Amino acid sequence: MSSDARRFAEIMLSQDAASRGLGIELDDVGPGWAVLTMRVRDDMVNGYALLHGGLLASLADSAFAVACNTYGEVTVAAGFDITFLESGRAGDVLRAHAVERARRGRSGLYDVTVTREDGTTLAEFRGRSRALGRPIA
């Protein structure tokens, strides 16, 4: 794991109250990629006892955010799409693996796959990023 990428990820996540509130943790990181995990709590499920889709999207978005900020330049989301394939449930530990697909000028494209511990893919996410031209630290 790149020490610079980890440092930038840790700086970013230390200021990310939303990810902390969801219990999202950094598992691994390198230039242009990141792996984050989240345990689904009872307060994260909807009326059907399934993980709320917005919270699944938040995990994917956090992994995307970490991956696109590993170069040390403040980078934000320009947009994203997500496709839900399976449902999560309370007690599941989810893994979001974000990978850079393209980075040109100030724009980037990232894919995030969210899986459950048993390897089942729950969602596929594609994020578009925009670098703001200022350093993270």
Domain total in the chain: 1
The DSSP secondary-structure symbol of 75 reads: E
22-79 pLDDT, tens per residue?
999 999 999 999 999 999 999 999 999 999 999 999 999 999 999 999 999 999 999 9
CA distance 98 to 34: 5
pTM of the model: 0.96
Of 24, 135, 35, the C-alpha closest to 75 is 135
* Dihedral, 104, 108, 109, 113 alpha carbons, nearest 10: 130
Range of the domain at 9: 3-135
93-133 pLDDT, tens per residue?
999 999 999 999 999 999 999 999 999 999 999 999 999 99
CATH number at residue 35: 3.10.129.10
The residues pairing with 81 across neighbouring beta strands, listed in sequence order, are: 126
Sheet holding 33-39, edge to edge: 25-30, 33-39, 93-104, 107-116, 121-135, 73-84
58 sits in which H/E element: helix 53-68
Query: Would you say residue 1 has pLDDT above 80?
Result: no
